[in-house]
Structures are given as structure tokens and as C-alpha cells.
Amino acid sequence: MTSDLTASTFHPSTASEIQEIVRSTPHLHVRGGGSKPALSTPSADSLLLDLSRLNGLVEYEPAEFTFTAQAGTPVADVQALLAKEGQYMPFDPPLAEAGATLGGVVAAGTSGAGRVRYGGVRDFLIGTRFVDGRGELLRGGGKVVKNAAGFDYPKLFVGSLGQLGVLTEVTFKVFPEPPAYATLAIDCADLPAALGHVRSLNRSKFDINGLDFAPSETGWTVWVRLGGLAAALDERMNTLHQQTGGGAVLAGEADASFWQNANRFDWLAADAALVKVPVTPGRVAGLEAGLSSASSRRYSVGGNLLWLGWERPVAELDALLAGHGLSGLLLRGSADSPWLGKRPGGAFLARVKAALDPEKKLGSL
């Protein structure tokens, strides 16, 4: 596997250049910002399509709460623009500082801790432009937040790793950003205690903007983030404190940097592989039993998402996940395929692939 064949890397700046490349190349691999290296590393016979020049905002009407940007636009740039208008992307894309692009976030399907409140990237992507495996430039979805016309290509592209089409433009719905946040850190003696808190919080009446838990010095720690009007936050945090037995409170800058660090994965051991594992709260205990050899990990989204730092051979994790009927996506590390455990596939996906990339130029999905 090669990481940067400069002679075989294209840097298109327009959609029609991409069309031309797709039509004339037998095997292609797409890269955005390279923030998830296991996804942007092509195989030996693949040419690399680097979309970093497909960068720029196309449309943003703050009053509409939607924006359209080219797929190679860095997430961080858009976050800054939205913040000026008091808006944000509720799916909380991770790795913004590492150079994640909008297209890459969609293709990898990576949402962050904040997605627990309103939904993930799939729930906020409303329109796309893409070049399919036949070199056709197509529009999927639209620019309005309610749209039931035609097949929902935007959703299909989430998690597709660029193998169903090359995204050139994406349209997202955004929300007003909560003006203030605070986080309660609940130290627990063990996993059952932590899961008890997570279960009751998932069913509670609190409007929760973050619900993460991880092994810590005391055993396990659960972090609960609330967001909203500053005037109501103290009272809400007090109630949360009372109902959970309390803990330390992070507010203002301390709260902000805590969750920013989570999105940077700075808790990850330096040379560990980074793997995304969708899970459910009820499966955590069973999975944990097999993870004793994993170095670092963090559960997010109320126990629906595991970010795993894996230091042993990836093949072992592949087998472990498969045994649990779980899937994993390798973001950093090396393996033959970034798909671990239960692979995506099946008759429906095969027929979808045949319609979008009949010659399998974009990958062997």
C-alpha cells in the first residue's frame, strides 16, 4: 500500500474535472483532508483523487438555517462561519482540527458526542452533488429541510467511503447553537454503576447535549452535558446533580475544551489504531468483557457509540467484533480493509452499487 504517489494523485478543482478523471480511470480512491488516514490510503492499483481544492462555501443564508459548500471544504472553516451567526452543526463532526472536510465526514459517517441531542450527520445532510462511477454529475436531495421527492441519495452516501460516488457539493441543515453549556462529571466505582447512570439519563427528561463515559482513575466516569439559555442552566445542573448523586461541574472554557478534546481524540494512545464501533447501551457490558487488552476507549452518545484505541493487531479486533455481531470502521491504523467485524453488504447494497458504479471504479463495495 502506498500513501502518496504524487504522480498518481489528482487534485481537481471542478466537478467536470472529476467527471473526466472518473471516465478515464479504472480504479479511484477519494481523499478529503486526510484526517482519517485509514480511509484515505489507496491500494496499489488505485489513483488518488484529492479533493482539497474543491473548497469553498456555495450558499449560506443564515435565516434559512441551511448551507451549501463544496465537498473539500474544511469543517473548521464552516464551524467558524456558522458560529458568527449563532448557528452550529448539531452532528458535531470530530477531527475538525486535523483537517476533516465536509465530504469526508459524510463519506466516513463520523458524528461526534453532540449528536446525542438532535441526530447525526445522516439526519442533517439534505442535499448532495456527486459524480457517480459512470462519470455522470448528479444532484441528490435538495436545498430545503423537508423533501420527500425522489430517492434519498444523500442518506445513501453517508458511510459510503466514496465508493458509490464522489461527492462534489453538500447541503446541510443547521440549528441555532445553545448559548451556554455545562457538564457534570460523575465518578463511578465500576462499569455497572456507570451504566446505571447512563440508562437512567437516557430515559430521563433532561435535554442532554452530551453523554459519554470511559474508564478513569476512580473506575469509570460519566460526563453529562446540558446546553441552552444561561438563565436556566444553573437550576438544571442542580437538579441533575441531585438526581445523579453529583460530581464535579465543568463550565465555560473548561466545558468547551473538554468536549473539543473529545473530538480530537486526545485521550487516544499515540500509536493506537482508532476504530468507530456502533453499539447499544445493553451490549456494552458484554463487549467490555473482550476489550481488556484494548488500551484506551470512550463510549459516547449514551452508549450508542464506542471510540476504541486498539494496540494489538487489527485482525484480532476484526474477529472480536464479528463474534459480537458488531461492525467497526478503522479511522487510523492499518488493515486490508477499513471495514471490521460484520461487513456492509447483501443483495440490496450490491444492486445499489451496480446502478451507481457498475464497473467498480470507486471501490469493491
Partner 1 sequence: MNPHPLLTELSGIFPAERLLTQPAQLKAYESDALTAFKALAAGIVIPQSREEVIAAVRLCHQHSVPFVARGSGTSLSGGSLPIADGIVIALNRMNRILRLDPDERIAVVEPGVINLAVSQAAAPFGLYYAPDPSSQAICTIGGNVAFNSGGAHCLKYGMTSNHVLGMTVVLPDGEVVEMGGESLEGVGPDVGGFFVGSEGLFGVAVEITLRLLPIPQLYRTVLAAYDSLQAAGDAVSAVVASGLLPGAMEIMDKLAIKAAEVGAKAGYPQDAAALLIVELEGESVAVEAEFAHLLQIMDGTGATEVRIAQNADERARIWKGRKSAFSAVGRLAPDYIVQDGVVPRSKLGEALAEIGKLSRKYAIEVANVFHAGDGNLHPLILFDGREAGALEKAEELAGEILELCIALGGSITGEHGVGVEKRAYLPRMFGPAEMAQMHAMRRSVDGRELGNRGKMLMVEGAG
Residues between 107 and 166 that touch partner 1 (CB under 8 A): 109, 111, 115-116, 118-120, 122-123, 132, 136-140, 142-153, 155-160, 163-164
246-265 positions binding partner 1, by CB under 8 A: none
81-100 positions binding partner 1, by CB under 8 A: 86
Residue closer to partner 1 (CB basis): 44 or 149: 149
213 lies in the binding site for partner 1 (CB under 8 A): no
Residue closer to partner 1 (CB basis): 73 or 304: 304
SS3 readout for the chain: CCCCCHHHEECCCCHHHHHHHHHHCCCEEEECCCCCCCCCCCCCCCEEEECCCCCCEEEEEHHHCEEEEECCCEHHHHHHHHHHCCEECCCCCCCCCCCCEHHHHHHHCCCCCCHHHHCCHHHHEEEEEEECCCCCEEEEECCCCCCCCCCCHHHHHCCCCCCCCEEEEEEEECEECCCEEEEEEEEECCHHHHHHHHHHHHCCCCCEEEEEEEEECCEEEEEEEEEECHHHHHHHHHHHHHHHCCCEEEEHHHHHHHHHHHHHCCCCCCCCEEEEEECCHHHHHHHHCCCCCCCEEEEEHHHCEEEEEECCCHHHHHHHHHHCCCEEEEEECCCCCCEEECCCCCHHHHHHHHHHCCCCCCCCC
Residue closer to partner 1 (CB basis): 74 or 209: 209
Residues 111-143, buried b or exposed e (16+ Cβ, 10 A)?
bbbbbbbeebbbebbbbbbbbbbbbebeebbbb
Residue closer to partner 1 (CB basis): 9 or 243: 243
Residue closer to partner 1 (CB basis): 27 or 143: 143
Query: Which stretch in 28-36, 45-53, 249-257, 299-307 sits in contact with partner 1 by CB under 8 A?
Result: 299-307
Letters for 1-40 (x = contact with partner 1 by CB under 8 A, - = none) are: ----------------------------------------
In terms of C-beta distances under 8 Å and separation of at least 24 residues, what long-range contacts does 137-141 make, across chains too?
A: 137/15, 137/16, 137/19, 137/168, 138/165, 141/171
346 lies in the binding site for partner 1 (CB under 8 A): yes
CB of 91 to partner 1, least distance (A): 11
Instruction: Identify the residue among 3, 23, 57, 207 touching partner 1 (CB under 8 A).
Output: 207
Using CA atoms, how far residue 123 sits from 76, 118, 235, 239, 316, in Å, is: 20, 8, 31, 30, 33
Query: Which stretch in 26-34, 48-56, 184-192, 339-347 sits in contact with partner 1 by CB under 8 A?
Result: 339-347
Residue closer to partner 1 (CB basis): 74 or 141: 141
190 lies in the binding site for partner 1 (CB under 8 A): no
Instruction: Identify the residue among 252, 282, 286, 313 touching partner 1 (CB under 8 A).
Output: 282
Instruction: Identify the residue among 279, 284, 314, 317 touching partner 1 (CB under 8 A).
Output: 279
Instruction: Identify the residue among 236, 264, 324, 360 touching partner 1 (CB under 8 A).
Output: 236
Instruction: Identify the residue among 23, 26, 343, 359 touching partner 1 (CB under 8 A).
Output: 343
192 lies in the binding site for partner 1 (CB under 8 A): no
235 lies in the binding site for partner 1 (CB under 8 A): yes
CB of 139 to partner 1, least distance (A): 6
Residue closer to partner 1 (CB basis): 74 or 363: 363
276 lies in the binding site for partner 1 (CB under 8 A): yes
State the CB neighbour count (10 A cutoff) for residue 278.
15
CB of 215 to partner 1, least distance (A): 20
Letters for 308-337 (x = contact with partner 1 by CB under 8 A, - = none) are: -------------------xxx--------
On whether the CB atoms of residues 105 and 78 are closer than 8 A, the answer is no
CB of 340 to partner 1, least distance (A): 8
